[in-house]
Amino acid sequence: MTDGAEPGLFVNRWGDTSDAAPRRRGSYRDICSCFDQSRPHPRARVGFHDERQDTSAPGWQHLLDLVEEAAADGREEFRPLTELSPQERRQVVTLPPSIAGLTAVRHLVLYGSNLVRIPPEIGAMASLEEFTPYTSYRLHWFPYEITRCRKLTRSTVSTRALFGNHRLRPPFPRLQPTPAPAADLDPDNMDPRRWGATAIHTCSVCDRPIEQGGLRQVRISLRVATDVLPLLVSACSSACVAALPDGASDYIPTPHKGGRVDQPAPDRDGGSSEPPRTQELA
């Protein structure tokens, strides 16, 4: 900057979701220690976040009202966290299924959230063009249903927080052996530590109910808008798993079960230096 020049201002493009007092900076979200997000030092095992949404929390109730309001007025941009207090934001670890009603929203902003998962109902947001969960450091994966957002072309994701990201190659949680008989599962009360979600009703691929064929979960990393995202697939059949596309370039090329799966090694520029080996699905 030259002498006498006016100092520049850096604009927060996504809305302020930080605390006013620096000493309370971390009060609006929890610390995540699943893996080191600053250097390649993967642990042998990682897992899903096991938090369940407290549906009685004021933050959750406020969020439900905001979603209902946004669905009713047909707004094209939705920034719910800017309207929650820091304490309320910390109480929200997922989004409600009612986001399926946000069919007019073109830009969804979740900057600085405390989220640990996104529900599959995001796939119903047919107008979504831009998705901004930036600095949501506990958000390590996304539902495969996000690929149904056909207009989605721009995203801003903290990729160092993602399972298998190309810069650090942290491991993936090991998925459950499949198929899991539907009779042994309560679709409204799933264990998030085992399945990544608290409810699974329909197939991520064909959208049919997961019935007696059983639940088959796999992972695949695909380019979604601007970023390559690790996607969790909850499929109803082996045919739906077989129908999945190839993985993104420089990522594991086929659907896999996570755990000790071979990944391309990151190079100095954050890319990969060798092809991965595929993994047989259980």
Query: Region 1-21: what's the mean pLDDT?
Result: 45
Q: Is 256 contained in some domain?
A: no
Nearest of 203, 229, 206 to residue 216 by alpha carbon: 203
Convert the pLDDT of each residue in 219-270 to its tens digit. 999 999 999 999 999 999 999 999 999 999 999 999 999 988 899 988 555 4
- Is the pLDDT confidence value at 22 over 70? no
Give me the phi and psi of 122, to 5 degrees please: -60, -25
Q: Is 168 contained in some domain?
A: yes
Q: Is 279 contained in some domain?
A: no
Q: Are 129 and 105 in contact (CB under 8 A)?
A: no
- Number of structural domains, the chain? 1
Q: Interior CA angle at 134 toward 6 and 26, to 5°?
A: 85
Q: Is 162 contained in some domain?
A: yes
Q: Is 22 contained in some domain?
A: no
Q: Is 10 contained in some domain?
A: no
CB atoms within 10 A of CB 271: 13
- Is the pLDDT confidence value at 3 over 50? no
Q: Is 124 contained in some domain?
A: yes
Convert the pLDDT of each residue in 59-102 to its tens digit. 999 999 999 999 999 999 999 999 999 999 999 999 999 999 99
Query: Region 118-122: what's the mean pLDDT?
Result: 98
pLDDT of the residue at 1:
42
Average per-residue pLDDT in the chain?
Answer: 87
Peptide bond into 179 cis (omega under 30): yes
Q: Higher pLDDT residue, 182 or 112? A: 112
- Is the pLDDT confidence value at 26 over 50? no
Which residue segment(s) compose the domain that 86 sits in? Answer: 29-242
pLDDT of the residue at 269:
57
pLDDT of the residue at 30:
93
Q: Is 112 contained in some domain?
A: yes
